[in-house]
Amino acid sequence: MGCENKLMNLKREPLLWRWGLWLVLAVVILATGLYLGRDVGTEGLVRENICRDLLAGHTSGRQGVISSVWWGPFPTLVILPAGFLLPAALSLPACLLVSALFGAATLVLLEQALRMWGAGRWRWLLMLGVALNPTFLEHCWTGSSAPMITCLLVLSLYSVTAWVQKRRLLDLIWFAFGSALLLGTGYEMSGWILAAVCVVAIEEWRRQVTGAEIRAVLLVALLPLAYTTALWLLMCWLIMGDPLYAVKSLLVAGPGPGGALVLPDALWWCYAGLAVLVGWMLVLALRKHDRSGVCLALLGLALPGAAGLMAWREQLWDTAPLLLSLLPAAVLALGHWLATLETNAEGAAARCGRRTGGVWVLACLPLLADFVPLALSEGPLRTSPSSLIEQQTPWLPDLGRHIRLQTPFAKVFVCGFESFALLQNQASPIFEHALDFNFDKARHDYYGQVLYLLVHRPEQRNAMDSIHWKSRNIYVQGGKDALYDSDWGDWRLFELIQATRSR
């Protein structure tokens, strides 16, 4: 009995140690962001206020969760319980807490994956390269969903590599679970998920197993993805009245993205360097006939591949999550290669392998350090118009006064997801969210009032809001029922034309 208790204690110690490391890292990330006074980003504000509307039972909250493929439901649903449980006295946005938790979970998963592969003490240096990356930390400090996506990507990458290497059913289940949650974060990761499923299918075909085994593996891998897709379609049908409503921005010809991502050249060179590093790991894995290493490197290269495809379609509006995830993917590929050196080499070859691994790690550190001056000077996040919204909107009270001067009986419908960041859940009898605006319904529901429509400029992600694909060129030309009134920052105010008639 004594020996069995000792074995149980030995198994519990690493688990308790990892949980403790996760909590410590989360506290450090959150406390550092609060100390530096980082502002909550646009995405954090939008999801935070969607959760508040959900808790208040408003229709806009339910629509905000599932009505757009560009604002996946999973990050919002994770913020929801945190926002419900956090005491109001803390004045802490739930999105910041969730981002810090998932950022810390990414680092712990990296350390665990490299430890399981046998990367030795190099894993701490590699993990530190991700932990000190300013772009990664900036997303953790602004309440973005990028740390959550990065964590799920690391989980999926590690699981699919372990499945190819050891053929454990649990690894395949974790891969299916992680990829299904990635699909629920939004459209950006769909290309990578497709590449991951193709890698698993090709790997099974190359093993020349029976057809029944191939079908069983694909069933386990695809069932969570199918369930997530079906549930999303069902919710769109029940809430929006159209099962394909969330993907209408991809299916209906609209105004176009209206802009491309502008980043410093040095940052593009950093991403290119990381892609080259993963490509070299692919060459080394092919030379050693390491099938798990080949799958890991291929899926790492699928990240810039998917980003390039979105850039070609003018839909790469932010480096997150695809290019941000390239750094942990490169760390995993490098750590996996170092682990193969440690386990396969002997004697003098082992010493040579350790020296070579050290050279590779040291060569990778300057590449990661290139992010530091960018963050200290311009800040890669702040160069993207869609990443941070104006935290102060001094014209919003002026807009309210402007409306009241026209009539005391007015309603302003603020269109698009950024309406949640603009209004920030401020109780007002004038402003109302409009994610699925219908002109006839608005006239019927608010009969006798003067109705206005506030529309954001259709650039980048805002161009995918339903108002732009339902009423093409409304921002520029107005509409047959919308008369231009005035401009307020990046927003344009229209008055809805109504014929006076008896009811």
* Structure token digits, residue 494: 């229209």
Query: What's the whole-number mean pLDDT along residues 398-412?
Result: 86
Within this chain, do residues 443 and 348 fall inside the same structural domain, yes or no?
no
Total domains present in the chain = 2
CA angle 264, 102, 422 (to 5 degrees): 65
User: Which tens digits make up the pLDDT trace of 345-388?
Assistant: 444 444 454 455 554 554 455 445 445 444 444 443 343 333 34
Of the candidates 32, 43, 61, 120, which has an alpha carbon nearest to the alpha carbon of residue 339? 120
Instruction: Mark which of 327, 352, 382 sits at the end of a domain.
Output: 382
Instruction: Mark which of 358, 382, 406 sits at the end of a domain.
Output: 382
Q: How far, in Å, CA of 410 to CA of 57, rounded? A: 23
Identify the band that residue 389 occupies on the pLDDT scale cut at 50, 70 and 90.
Answer: very low
User: Which tens digits make up the pLDDT trace of 215-254?
Assistant: 899 999 999 999 999 999 999 999 999 999 999 888 765 4
Query: What's the whole-number mean pLDDT along residues 382-396?
Result: 50
Of the candidates 410, 384, 418, which has an alpha carbon nearest to the alpha carbon of residue 70? 418
Residue 103: inside a domain: yes
Q: What's residue 234's pLDDT?
A: 96
Within this chain, do residues 235 and 319 fall inside the same structural domain, yes or no?
yes
Within this chain, do residues 303 and 373 fall inside the same structural domain, yes or no?
yes
Residue % of the chain over a pLDDT of 70: 83
Q: What pTM, to 2 d.p., does this model score? A: 0.88
Instruction: Mark which of 314, 349, 382 sits at the end of a domain.
Output: 382
The answer to whether residues 321 and 75 touch, using CB atoms and an 8 Å cutoff, is no
User: Which tens digits make up the pLDDT trace of 304-332?
Assistant: 999 988 888 878 887 778 988 999 999 99
Beta-carbon neighbour count of residue 32 at 10 Å? Answer: 14
Residue 502: inside a domain: no
Within this chain, do residues 317 and 411 fall inside the same structural domain, yes or no?
no
Q: How far, in Å, CA of 474 to CA of 96, rounded? A: 35
Residue 161: inside a domain: yes
Within this chain, do residues 114 and 249 fall inside the same structural domain, yes or no?
yes
Full residue range of the structural domain in which residue 217 is found: 18-382
